[in-house]
Amino acid sequence: MTTLIMAQLTIQETQRRRILWLGLLMAVGFLTVFGIGLHYIVSELSRTGMGREEMEVATGLLLSAGLYVVNF
């Protein structure tokens, strides 16, 4: 119960200082840029004539790299 109260107070404080909104804005911005970049990379790779399995491996690698960056 006290953990939930502390979490609620923490979220209220971040909203008051607008840190939460800045973090959400930055996350949406990153996901937008990453999604657009991934789209263009995949479309460029599909023009090279790669096989389906190779495309899946390349896409998985790019998604893993993006999630790794977000982790920090």
pTM, two decimal places: 0.69
Question: What's residue 34's pLDDT?
Answer: 92
Question: What's residue 4's pLDDT?
Answer: 93
| Among 9, 34, 11, CA closest to 23 | 11
Tens-digit pLDDT profile for residues 22-66: 988 998 999 999 999 999 988 998 888 888 899 899 899 999 998
Q: How many CB atoms lie within 10 A of CB 72?
A: 4
pLDDT at 72 over 80: no
Mean local confidence (pLDDT), 6-22: 87
Q: Is the dihedral of CA 32, 34, 40, 45 positive or negative?
A: negative
| Among 41, 37, 30, CA closest to 67 | 30
Split into its structural domains, the chain has a count of 1
The pair phi, psi for residue 18, each rounded to 5°, is: 65, 20
Question: What's residue 35's pLDDT?
Answer: 93
Provide the domain limits for residue 23. 2-71
CA distance 60 to 66: 10
